[in-house]
């Protein structure tokens, strides 16, 4: 009897819980207790302006490029998510 090839590969399939975040960012945020699947999947102009105001233009750009936010940055920027 042959085993189901789909069953053997399904364990290695990674689920992208949020398309805006890379794997490292997802892991970091989850480590801080953030449910990344409940975060916005797009950034509005209001959110972007808020992130820049809270974190600074350079740091906001670093996070957009894939840097993981620190716990303090998460705290500072969490109010931006509803913008």
pLDDT value at residue 13: 59
DSSP-assigned states of every residue in 4-60 = -HHHHHHTTPPP-S-TTS-HHHHHHHHHTT--GGGS-SS--HHHHHHHHHHH-HHHH
CB 50 within 8 A of CB 80: yes
Contacts 24+ apart (CB under 8 A), 36-40: 39/81, 40/81
Confidence (pTM): 0.71
Check if the beta carbon of residue 12 is closer than 8 Å to that of residue 46. Answer: no
pLDDT digits (tens, 9 = 90+) for 8-55: 444 555 678 899 899 999 999 999 999 999 999 999 999 999 999 999
């Amino acid at each position: 009897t042959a085993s189901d090839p789909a069953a053997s590969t399904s364990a290695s399939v990674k689920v992208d819980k949020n398309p805006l975040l890379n794997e490292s960012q997802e892991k970091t945020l989850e480590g801080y207790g953030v449910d990344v699947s409940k975060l916005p999947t797009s950034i509005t102009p209001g959110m972007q302006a808020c992130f820049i105001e809270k974190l600074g233009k350079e740091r906001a750009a670093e996070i957009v490029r894939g840097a993981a936010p620190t716990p303090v940055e998460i705290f500072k920027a969490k109010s931006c998510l509803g913008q």
